[in-house]
Structure 1
């Protein structure tokens, strides 16, 4: 229901807005009402009062500014140290188009690095991406004449995000499982794949990429 006076009423008595989410929601509604009525958001008294109330909630009984900045710096550094694929696997990508797009982009990069570690040359392998439905991650795959590798989240649970098997014509061999962390160390994973599947290609010998 459209009520252009509601933002003023709430701004005059904001005591019920006791949390940052509730105060932010009220502020966003007030801004939206300004947009609908073409009011000046920067000068609207309800918007300004609600913004100040939100600011007070962010200050009362909260850590000091310096502590918050230090915590943000530490959190950002921790994220930078963690490969994006691992972060996406932990949080999931279902019903999140941006996260899912990142998963497929990073998955293709990881598969391409693995192809190099397996000693495969351009034209000897294909990296493909299947988006599937919005509720699931879909999968990223690497296939050759004798090998099929698939990355998918959630299918077999944590620690089994990667499936690999031999391919013999139209038939596939027994499924083998590996963790996403193994995929992120392509040289070591390539050695395992060669050992267990007895591939004819020669694995690369460069230094492993750190996860």
Structure 2
């Protein structure tokens, strides 16, 4: 999730990554929450092939969720481009410095 935040060029302090432990009957999740986007990862049989859900925060809580397999997170730059395209997020110029890459 940190690599995805870097690929989305989210400024430090503008997003939060939260992990919630599940229970025996329900999967936990990891959430990347920012001003424009929410990305959640849930693992388990119920989520197979749709482990990653994402939506535009700007559209409000009724915004439709979209889904992707967990393998999409293995290529964060490519997945970030998909998120920008599908959610019509503003494209920012790439201005990563070495410290941003090290922090990821």
Q: Shorter-chain TM-score: what band? A: 0.7 to 0.9
Larger radius of gyration: 1
CA distance in 2, matches of 1:159, 1:205: 33
Aligned pairs for 1:51-130 (under 5 A) are 111-130=1-20
More deviation, 179-188/160-169: 160-169
TM-score computed with the length of structure 2 as normaliser: 0.80
Match of 2:85 in 1: 195
Structure 2 residue ranges without an equivalent (≥5): 97-104
- Shift, 1:184, TM fit: 1.3
Match status 1:173 vs 2:63: yes
Higher strand share: 2
Change (3 A) 1:177 1:160: same
Say yes or no: does 1:186 pair with 2:76: yes
Counterpart contact for 1:132–1:138, Cα < 8 Å? yes
Select the structure that is richer in helix. Answer: 1
Give aligned pairs, total: 96
Where does residue 9 of structure 1 map in the other structure? Answer: none
Q: Is the 8 Å Cα contact of residues 159 and 179 (structure 1) preserved in structure 2?
A: yes
With the length of structure 1 as denominator, give the TM-score of the two structures. 0.41
> Cα RMSD (Å) of the superposition?
2.3
2: CA distance between counterparts of 1:134 and 1:203? 44
What is the DSSP-based 3-state SS (H/G/I as helix, E as strand, rest coil) of the residue aligned with 2:54?
Answer: strand
Aligned partners of 2:83 and 2:37: how far apart in 1? 9
CA distance in 1, matches of 2:24, 2:47: 19
Counterpart of 1:199 in 2: which secondary structure? coil
